[in-house]
Amino acid sequence: MVSNIQILVVTGSSFQIFKLINYKIMAKHIEFNKTLKDLNEADLAARIKEDEIRLKKLEFAHAISPLENPMSIRSLRKDVARLKTEVRKRELAK
């Protein structure tokens, strides 16, 4: 993965690098949303609860000593929001 980005830095423009990184991030989100469709309401609620607990633990650990990857907090927060959005969509569809 790093080698692909390094090759683009040498041969491509910065816009192409951004597109490549953005494409990989979007692919991850699309895959995440597809897995949500297979879960029922109870599984979604359990997953939200698990992820919120994990988020609190990460934030607490980060407050004590810096995390190796602090962006994981942001990523987890967004995942929780996506889960809650899916729950809300299903509520409105009823």
The pTM for the full model equals: 0.69
Burial class (CB in 10 A: 0-12, 13-18, 19+), 77: middle
Domain layout of the chain by residue ranges: 1-38, 40-94
Predicted local confidence at residue 22, as pLDDT: 60
- Residue 51 CA: distances (Å) to CA of 13, 45, 90: 38, 10, 19
Comparison of pLDDT for 19 and 36, the residue scoring more = 36
Comparison of pLDDT for 4 and 64, the residue scoring more = 64
What count of other Cβ atoms lies within 10 Å of the Cβ of residue 51?
Answer: 17
Q: What share of the chain has pLDDT > 90, as a percent?
A: 53
Tokens of 81: 């929001």
* Torsion sign across C-alpha atoms 49, 51, 52, 53: positive
